[in-house]
Chains A and B, each alone.
Chain A
Amino acid sequence: MMGVINLVFNAILNGTPLMFGTMGESLTEKSGNLNLGVEGMMYMGGAFGLAGAFYYEKLTGGGSGILAVLIAIACSFLAGAIGALIYSFITITLRANQNVTGLALAIFGTGIGQFVGEYMRNVEGGYVAVSNELKNFFQASPFPRFLQDIPVVGKLIFGHNVFVYLGVILAVLMAFYINRTRYGLNLRATGESPATADAAGINVIKYKYLATVIGGGISAIGGMVYIMTIAGCVWNHEGLSGEGWLAVALVIFCLWRPLNTIWGSALFGALIIMYLRVHLPIPSEIYKILPYVVTVAVLVFTSLRKKKENQPPESLGLSYFREDR
C-alpha cells in the first residue's frame, strides 16, 4: 500500500513540469502554431527562474518565501514568453516555416538556458543554490501538517508542492477558457481555419500572438518547476534535457485538451520513474521509452479512428498568409 502511494506521489511530482510544458504548448497549438521550441523555452524558464529566486534571496538576505516563488514564476514566464515572441514574430509576421523556426528556438533556448546556468555558477564561485528555508516554499506542501497526516489520502491530496495545485487550477481555467468562452471559440477557429476566422472578423494575428506568447510562458514555468523541485534548486541541464520533447509528446497524448494534462502528466511521470519502483523483467532503459511508444500509439490510433474531436487543429504547422488566396 505504502509503495503504491509513494509511486503515485512521485509520479505526480515528476509529472508537474510536464503538466506546465504541455498546457503551454496545447494553448499554442490551439492557435495553429506548432512551436517545437518547448525544450528551449523550458531551459530558459529553468535558468531564469532559478536566477530570479537566487538573486532575490541574495539581495534581500532572506526575504519572503512566497515572494520568491512568485518571482521565480514571473522570471521563468517572461523568459519563455520572450522566446515565444521571437518565434511568433518570425512565423506569424515574417511567415517563416514553423518547424524550422521552432527547432531554431529549441537550439537557441537550450543555449541561453545552459549559458545562464553555467555563467551564474562561474560568477558565484561554483555553486548556485538557495537556502533550505526558501527551498521549503518551493518543495513542501502549502497545507498544514494535520491535513497531510490523514492516513492514505492525506499525502496524496494535500502533500504535494504548491506547483501541483497551481497547475491543476490553471488546467481548469484553461479548459473553461477554451471550451466555454467566446474568446476560446475564436482561438479554436483560428487554429482550425484561419481564413474562415479572418473572414468572420476575428483578429487572427492577435490570437496567434497571444496564444503563442502566453503558451510559451506557461511552458517555461515547467522548466522552473523542474529545477526548483525535482533538481533541488540547483542548475541541472542533464536532468532537464528531454522534458520539452516529452511535453510535445504529451500534448498529442492528451489530445490538445488541458483537463487531460492533469492525469496525462501524472501517467507520464509514472512512466519516467516506474523503473525505480516497479520491478518487471524489462530493462530500465526500455521502460524509459514507454512514454514515446505510448504517444506513437495514440497518434496512430487517432488517425485511424478519424474522430473529429480528437484530431490536431486543422491548420497546425501552417502559416497563415492573408494575401495568399
Chain B
Amino acid sequence: MHNQRAPLFHLAKRTSLSPARAWTIRLASFVVAILIGGLIFLLLGDDPVSAYGAIITGSLGKKVAIRQTVKIAVPLLGTALAIAPCFKMRFWNIGAEGQITAGAIGATFFALNYYDKLPSPVLLIVMGLAGAVCGAFWAFIPAFFKARWGTNETLFTLMMNYIVIGLVKWLQGGPWEGKPGSQIIPNFASSAVLPKVFGIHCGWIIVLILTIFIYVYMRYSKHGYEIAVVGESENTARYAGMSVARITIRTMLLSGAISGLVGYMVASGANMTLYYSVADGVGFTAITVAWLAQLNPFAMIAISFLLAILDKGASTLQTVMNVPASISDIITGIFLFCMLASEFFINYRLVFRHDSGKEAVSE
C-alpha cells in the first residue's frame, strides 16, 4: 500500500548504457530536430522537403559547394579539438573566440612584415608558430588567475574575447591599415597564403592530424589521464600528488595554441587577410560541437560537418526560397537543444511507480 504515496515516477541514474543504444537515442533526437525544423518551414509557408533538399544540394550538390562546406567545417573541428581537453578538466574555457583571434594576429604580423624576407614554406611555418604562441598566451592569462586565485574562468575567458577583438578593430583602422581610410588590412602576399590541396586550403589536413593527436593525447598519454582526474575531482588529484595549478595552465596553453593555429588557418587559408570577425562565432559554436560529441574527437568530425552543412545550405536557401539566411542559426539552435536534451535520456531513466518493486530486484 505504501506505493500509493510514492511519486508517479522518479529518476534513476543509468549505470551503463551500451554505446549503440546511446547513439540510437542521439539519432532519435536528430530526427526530432529535423521534424521541429520542418515545422518551422511549414509555418513560413514553405515545403519542408524541398527546403531540406535545398540545404543538402546547396551544401553537397556540387564540387564547389562541398569545398565551401569543408572550409566552414575546418575551423569548427579545429576549435572543438582545442576545447575538448579544457572541458574534460571542467575548465569552462569559452574564450576560444579570442584565442583564435589572437592567433590570427600573430600570424598576420609575420605575413605583413616578412612576406618578402622569408621563403614561403619557412614563412608559413613561422606564421603557424606565431599563431600558436599568441593563442596560448591569450589562454594563459585566465588560466594563471584561475590556478593562482581561483578567478572564475568562464567569465574571464569570455571578457578576453572582446578585448582581443577590439584590438583587431584598432589594428584594422590604425597601424596595419592598408589604404588610408579603408579600415582594411591589405591581403596577404601569395607567399603567406596556405597552399591548396584538392581545392581547399591545406588546413583540413592539419585539422585531421590534430584529431588523431588529441585522441591519443586524451586517451593514452599521462597528461590526458591527469586531465581526466582533475575533471573528476580536484581533491583526488591533489591527494595523488598532482599539481592542479600546473595541469590547468598546461592544458590551457595547449588549448590556446590549437585555437591560435585555427586562427592562423582561417586568416591565411580562408580569408587571406585579418579582420575583426575572423573567429565569427566559431569559438562559441565549437563548444557545442565538442560537448555534443561527448569530447570524442572522431564524433566531432561528424558534428562539425553537420553544422557546416546547415550553415552553407541556409545561404542557398536564401537565394532559392527567399528565406533569410539567419534560419541556419535557428535550425542549428534547435539541433543543439534537442541533442543536449537527449543526453538526459542517456544518463537517466524514468522509473514508474508500478514497476518500482521489480526494479529493486533487477538492479
Contacts and interface: CB of A to CB of B under 8 A. Distances in A.
A14 interface: no
A103 B94 contact: yes
A96 B343 contact: yes
A106 B284 contact: yes
Contact of B94 (A86, A99, A242): A99
Interface string A24-43: 00000000001010000000
A249 B159 contact: yes
A136 interface: no
Counting chain B CB atoms within 10 Å of each CB, which of A296, A303, A304 scores highest?
A: A296
A107 B324 contact: no
A292 B152 CA distance: 15
Interface stretch (B99-107, B162-170, B190-198, B214-222): B162-170
B287 A248 contact: no
B23 interface: no
A94 B340 contact: yes
B159 A103 contact: no
B145 interface: yes
Interface string A68-110: 0000000000000000001001100011110111011111111
A303 B344 contact: no
Contacts of B336: 100, 104, 107-108
Contact of A323 (B13, B151, B285, B287): B13
Nearest to B174: A283
B337 A292 contact: no
B173 interface: yes
Contacts of A104: 288, 333, 336-337, 340
B64 interface: no
Interface string B312-343: 00000000001010111111111011001101
Given A299-B155, A300-B151, A304-B149, A286 B166 contact: yes
Given A283-B170, A296-B156, A303-B149, 15 more contacts: A97-B340, A100-B288, A104-B336, A107-B329, A107-B336, A108-B334, A110-B329, A111-B328, A114-B324, A115-B329, A285-B167, A285-B170, A286-B170, A296-B160, A300-B145
21 contacts: A94-B344, A95-B344, A99-B154, A101-B337, A103-B287, A104-B340, A107-B332, A108-B329, A108-B334, A111-B327, A112-B330, A114-B324, A245-B161, A245-B162, A283-B174, A286-B170, A288-B169, A304-B149, A323-B11, A323-B12, A324-B13
